[in-house]
A and B are shown apart, each in its own frame.
Chain A
Amino acid sequence: MNIEEINHLAKLSGLELDPHQTKQVSKELENILNLVAELQSIDTTGVEPLFHPIALIEQLSQALRVDIVSEDNNRTNNMLSAPVSHKGLYLVPKVIE
């Protein structure tokens, strides 16, 4: 992967890599991709993906929750670890639309 691709990948991943790291990471990713390249050569025609392992043996259906309000106001506890907050709002650097 070239520098541009790595930087784009980093951006999509919400990560920042400095130039030195980029080289190192590029190499490591290269190795991992070589490891997984083997997958391409397997013929999977007619095979359905197995997203949930137990779906192999039984049909799995999403359970439905009854529509009632079951959560109380627990804001104080929920916001115990808020890095920056003000009047019950989480603060972040201004979002420009």
Chain B
Amino acid sequence: MNWHEKSLTELSNALSAKEISSVELTQYFLGRMARSKEFNAYLDVQEDFSLRDARAADQKIARGEAGPLTGIPIAHKDVFVTKDWKSTAASKMLENFLSPYDARVVELLGTNGAGMVCLGKTNMDEFAMGSSNENSAYGAALNPWNTSYVSGGSSGGSAVAVAAGLTPIATGTDTGGSIRQPAAFCGITGIKPTYGSVSRYGMIAYASSLDQAGPMGKSAKDCALILNAISGHDPRDSTSLRKGAMDYQGLIGKPWSTPGGLPLQDLRIGVPEEYFAQGLQEEVRNSVQEALKKFEELGATCIAVSLPKTKLSIPVYYVLAPAEASSNLSRYDGVRYGFRAKEYKDLNQMYERSRSEGFGAEVKRRILIGTYVLSQGYYDAYYLQAQKIRRIIAEDFQAAFTKCDVLMGPVAPQAAWKVGEKSKDPVEMYLEDIYTLSPNLAGLPAMSIPCGMSQQGLPIGLQIIGNYFSEAKMLQIADQFQQNSSWHQLAPTNSGVKK
């Protein structure tokens, strides 16, 4: 049985029907993981702990106390701290770090929560800074469709693990596109919810006002299940919103307006003209436009809208994110935990050497830029100015949403590039983020679903951006697309693309 092809609901049913136990299911995935190390998707695997959690889940199932996720394996991005697995954020700085507590997201999904079984911690760009997973201190995660190509980042490992069938589903985080872009590059589905929906407690911080956790899986349906389990107020995170419980699955399968008509009748899809301007590769444009046609077939109407500050989102993001990061990463000093240099002659040198040796090049670049834009004389012109333009960008979205229900466009200007192709000039990679940065700045929910393949045989993703708290609608819309197309069902194998 190809358990890695099953949906979460199918797995849950199989577990209840005793077709398979959680232990067996876990062993199945652990086996696949052991045979697929070349993708470098996982940074830490602890089979004993996984099986321990699987046994606990089996007991729950036997007692008839199982929920929809009990006993199902999951992989966690190494940005979430865990007591039983290492938590490195793919950095040398934390190579030996053992967290005394579990992240909120991990708690909610684990044995004392939804009862899922952690398969291990997945690879990522160091401290979530990057768009290709090449910034990992432990080697890049490789795209399972073609290992000469990047997986995307920063949640590369999670995307790879899902795409290669090394886990049914995974968690990721998204600060500027880090769930959506690797999901697009690896041909899977991923969603970044509204800022504040999911607790950041236990998520190693990169940029506090932009970071948000979300699921990465094979379908919108699967993502909805996870989102239900991980969202909600956490008093330990002051930025966690105090909203009532939301049911992200609630609209899946329902028609957009009138029952009996076309499923997405009356859905207005805003298509930002700036997302289709110069720089967008032909193949991506074509795939996205094909997808939009499909939506129209399902009853939706596409409307041209404008997000005038789209290009400005790049400088705004690359001022704000590094600024917050430069401060968030100041705690890594080798005093209480983390990497401490071997040679130093005094306190200052201990700090400087530990940090310089512990952090990779991209992290150091962003810390320097961040320090710069916050420093005396530059704060107003850079940091404050960026926060003001951020408001303008957020208001542009609100203006667009008066004309449409959701926005759609490409996730990235191109499909995955070759490993090493863009490593020479950091700025080249920053420019690739153009379509994904704005929703983070505005705090809006955004997701990626597979919508095509490039000539090279690499996946292309469609981005859906919704208004605040409209994730249920976005998942509904995405699911309708997935019910009426099969891009999301493609999976890589060694011998080519297989349905």
Contact = CB atoms under 8 A, between A and B. Distances in A.
A and B touch in the complex (CB under 8 A): yes
Interface of A: 9-17, 25, 28-29, 31-33, 35-40, 42, 44, 47-54, 56-57, 62-63, 65, 74, 77-84, 90, 92-95
Contacts of B382: 36, 39
Contacts of A80: 98, 100, 337
Q: Is the interface of B mostly helix, strand, loop or mixed?
A: helix
Contact of A82 (B239, B337, B345, B388): B337
Contacts of B353: 16
Contacts of A81: 96-98, 336-338
B49 interface: no
Contact of B356 (A17, A29, A50): A17
Interface string B164-203: 0000000000000000000000000000001110000000
A47 B396 CA distance: 13
A40 B381 contact: yes
A38 to B, nearest CB: 5
B336 A90 contact: yes
Given A36-B318, A84-B340, A94-B347, A42 B389 contact: yes
Contact of B390 (A25, A50, A90, A93): A50
A49 B391 contact: yes
Nearest to A34: B427
Given A56-B443, A77-B100, A63 B235 contact: yes
Contact of A51 (B241, B351, B387): B387
Contacts of B443: 52-54, 56
Nearest to B316: A39
Contacts of A10: 352, 368
B403 interface: no
Given A15-B364, A54-B241, A39 B468 contact: no
Interface stretch (B38-46, B125-133, B327-335, B472-480): B327-335
A88 to B, nearest CB: 12
B395 interface: yes
Interface in B458-492: 468
B352 A28 contact: no
B98 A39 contact: no
Contacts of A49: 384, 387-388, 390-391
Given A31-B426, A39-B386, A42-B385, A53 B442 contact: yes
B312 A38 contact: yes
B346 A93 contact: yes
Nearest to A45: B388
B389 A16 contact: no
